[in-house]
Each structure stands twice: as structure tokens, then as C-alpha cells.
Structure 1
Amino acid sequence: MRTARHLLTRRYAQPVVTLMLVGLLLAHPFISARQGLLLFVLAALLALFISIRRSDLKLRIYLGISSFVLVWSIFWDLHPGLEKLFLYSSCISTYFIFIFFIIHDLLKTTEITKNEIFSLINCYLIVGTVFSFVYEIIFYSTPESFSFGPHNIYDHSIFLYYSFITITTLGYGDVVPISPFARHIAIIEAIFGQFYIAIVVSYILGKYIQRKLA
């Protein structure tokens, strides 16, 4: 017999995280950078934790340690540049590792429910946000790597905006990568966005539709 906790995790956890991530994207311009980063880290870690199907103890220990380090580092009173570099690098490495495992497990699963569909959405939103960290690190190390419009404010919101117009291949042209490294990262994100929709999402949705029709 399933417990109430299991039902909550299976039925509602992923949709709740989706609402949290979308809400954070909408609220980002109206809250401080530290508040936004803390809420995103908590929402993303929750999404990754409930998406992992593996019983590998080492993997879960790593996620637990990463969760502690990421939350602690947000309030770490250090030089702003070093703090940002450490925190963003930790987010990038942690999230990409776990997203790889989640996508791998989703492609292997035989039972596709609405929870797995929301898990796909959450991975997409997390990847778009993580790439914004990559762009900001590039800008921090080499400010001339990007060309901005005259009215843009140089904070994280501009890189979040640029990341999502890149992963969705909208490309408005108001933020332009200049350095070869920044351009190649943008290419990688755009390719990931297209392949993710064309291969991963279509494959999972196909299995979901087959299950409904069976």
C-alpha cells in the first residue's frame, strides 16, 4: 500500500517544482540576486533529488553534500568575485551531472506518467538557468566576450534572458557573444535545446502516448 508521502512525491512534487521554477523566472527582476539564487538552488536541488531513480548511495551522498555546500556558499562572506565564481562553478558541475543521470534514467524507464513529463520540463528550465551561470562566469573573466544593447543592465537577469533566448533559438540580437569561447558555448546550448526537444522530449512523449493508447 502506498503511503501518503509516496503519493505526494509521485503525483505532485514535480508539478510543484515546475511552478516554483517558472515563478522564479517571472519574479527574478523583482527580488535580490541572493534571494533569487537561494530559491533557485533549493528548487533545482529538490527537482533533481525527486527525479533520481537510482539507489546508488554515493550519488545521494554527493547530492546531499552538494546541497549543503551550495546553500552555505550563497551566504558565504567572501570577495564577491571569488564567491560568485565558486558558487556558479559548483552549480554548473552539480546540475549538469545530475541532469545527465535524470535524462539517462528517463530514456530507460518503461512507465511514463505525468510526473516524468514535468521532470522533462524541470530539466529544461534548470539547464537554461545553469547556462546563464556559464555566461556570467565568461563575462566575469572576460567582459568583452559579450556585446549588450545600450539599455541593458549588467546583472544576472541579462544572462538569464540571453540563455533562454539561446536555448529556444529565438535570438533577438540585443545580446551578442563576441569571443570565440562565448560563441561556442552558445552553439552548444542551442544544439542541446533542439536535440532535447527533438529527441528526448519526443521519445518520452511517444512512450507516454503509447501507454495511454494501450
Structure 2
Amino acid sequence: MSPTDTGQDETTAARRRARSRLQSAQARVSTAFRERMLTVLLVLLLLLAFVVPSAVQSVFQAELLVDILLTLVLIAGTMAVSANRPLMMAMAVLAFLAMGLRWSEWILPGTLLPIVRESSVLITLFVLAIAVAINVFSSSTDISERIVGTVILYLLIGMIWGIAYMAIATRHPDAFAQTRVVEFPITNWIYFSFVTLTTVGYGDVLPVSRIARSLATLEALIGQLYPAIIIARMVSMPRADS
């Protein structure tokens, strides 16, 4: 082998090593970014589920804060699933439509049916839940990211059902019976959803119609099966670094 060929081989090997180091660095940056976005998404969902219902002072504040937090949830969720390009693109399109429909109500009141607005958010959160679930069960996902993703998925289930209950109650006001007048209707369905998901069932809100009862039963069943199946499966999966 001539010195020229040897030099070319060394140059090629050096380029390969540089390319490999660059790809590794990009992967680490992508993983760190995704983990940060998952953390942000978790914080936003906790605020939406537990802080807003106890902090709001009026219906206007409740609706405004819910819309702001839902917008941030959709943005953070889109960024959190950036590793899966098709899902990220689907999330971006759905999030844009959902945010446009929700915020248009503040500019042009009464121009959209509430069921259309809530359905757009419902579909977007459902796609986000699928994307988070795929990330949680990926064998390349770090254990800490799996745990955060599992909590996010649980909260998303509660939020999805809460929005579904609100859409049903908007369409059919007699679908639920309540023992007292609720001051903040939006946060009421978030509360009812998580009470049902955790199978606490205080009885202050009761599903009456068949579709409301079916949804409540399904959510309660998921709430019972989730810790036993989803978390057990996550823990039993091999570590990403093993």
C-alpha cells in the first residue's frame, strides 16, 4: 500500500470518527431537549389539573387560564415528541388548528360551536397521548424519561376525559346530575374526571345519560388497570443503557 493510499484511509477514518462524535453530540442534545420539554409538559398539566381549579376567582379567569395553559401544553407537547418526525408534524398541524379554534372564540364570540372547539383539543391531546406512550415504551428511552412520560400519560388521560365530559355536558345539559351549582364549569369537569380516574367517586357529580355513564365506567376501569399494567410494563422493560 502506497503512502498516498495510507493517508487517504487515515483521512477517511478521521472523518468517520468526527461524524460519529457529531451524531452522538446531536443525539445527546436532542435527548436533553426532549427531557426538558417533558418536564415542562408535566408542570403545565399539574397546573392545569390542580392549581387552576383552586386559584381562579371568576369564570372569566378560569376560561382564560385554561386556554393559556392548554395552548402551552400543546406547544410543549409538540416539542416533546420531536424525536418522532411524523407524530411531531401531525401534532403541529392539530395543535395549530386547535389553538386557532379556541382563541378565535375570544375575538369572534359565538362564531363556532363549542363542541367543535372542544373536539379539536380532544383529538390533539389524544394524538399527544399516543406519542407520549410510544416514547415511554421505546427501548431507547432512559428510565427517568419513562417515569416522567408515564405520569404525563396518566394526567393526559384525565384531561382527555375531562374535555369529553365537558363536550357532552355542553351538548346534553341533562347528561350529568350535580348536587350543587358549580361556579366554574370548566374546572368542574377536570375535577370530575380525576375523581373518576382515581375511583374516589364523591357523588357530587353523577353521570345520568348512557354515553356519560359509559365514559365514566371506562375511565374508572383505566384508572384501575393503569398502575397494574402500564407501570409494571415500563419497569420490566430493559434500561436504555443496558
Question: Greater relative contact order: 1 or 2 (C-alpha under 8 angstroms, separation 6 or more)?
Answer: 1
Deviation at 1:20, TM superposition (A): 2.1
Please show how residues 1-214 of structure 1 align to structure 2 within 5 Å.
1-3=24-26, 5-6=29-30, 8-29=32-53, 30=56, 31-51=61-81, 53-56=83-86, 59-76=87-104, 77-80=107-110, 82-153=112-183, 155-207=185-237, 211=239
Give how far 1:132 is off. Answer: 1.0
Is the CA contact (8 Å cut-off) linking 2:78 and 2:88 kept in structure 1?
no
CA gap 1:155/1:206 in 2 versus in 1, 3 angstroms:
same
Amino acid in structure 1 at the alignment position of 2:39? P
> Which deviates more, 170-179 or 101-110?
101-110
The answer to whether the Cα contact below 8 Å between 1:168 and 1:193 also exists between their aligned partners in 2 is yes
User: Which one is further off, 46-55 or 69-78?
Assistant: 46-55
Change (3 A) 1:47 1:136: same
Q: Normalised by the size of structure 1, how large is the TM-score?
A: 0.84
Judged with a 3 Å threshold, the aligned counterparts in structure 2 of structure 1 residues 19 and 61 are, in CA distance, closer, same or farther, namely: closer
TM-score (norm 2): 0.75
User: Quick check: 2:168–2:175 contact (8 Å CA) kept in 1?
Assistant: yes
Deviations 1:53-94 (A, max 9, x none): 4333xx333222112112222221445483422221011122
8 Å CA contact 1:15–1:115 kept in 2: the answer is no
Aligned mates of 1:194, 1:81 — CA distance in 2: 40
Query: Aligned residues: percent identity?
Result: 22
Structure possessing the higher radius of gyration over alpha carbons: 2
Query: 2:219 & 2:80 partners in 1: Cα distance?
Result: 25
Q: Distance in 2 between matches of 1:197 and 1:186?
A: 18
State the SS of the aligned residue for 1:32. Answer: helix
Where does the alignment leave 5 or more consecutive residues of structure 2 unmatched? 1-23
CA shift for structure 1 position 137? 1.1
Count the aligned residue pairs. 210
**CA shift in 2, pair 1:124/1:60, >3 Å:** same
Secondary structure at 1:150's aligned position in 2? Answer: coil
In structure 2, relative to structure 1, the CA distance for the partners of 1:138 and 1:66 (3 Å cut) is: same
Deviation at 1:171, TM superposition (A): 0.7
- State the secondary structure of the residue aligned to 1:82: coil
Bigger drift between 178-187 and 113-122 goes to 113-122
The SS at the match of 1:171 is coil
Q: Tell me how large the CA RMSD over aligned residues is.
A: 2.6
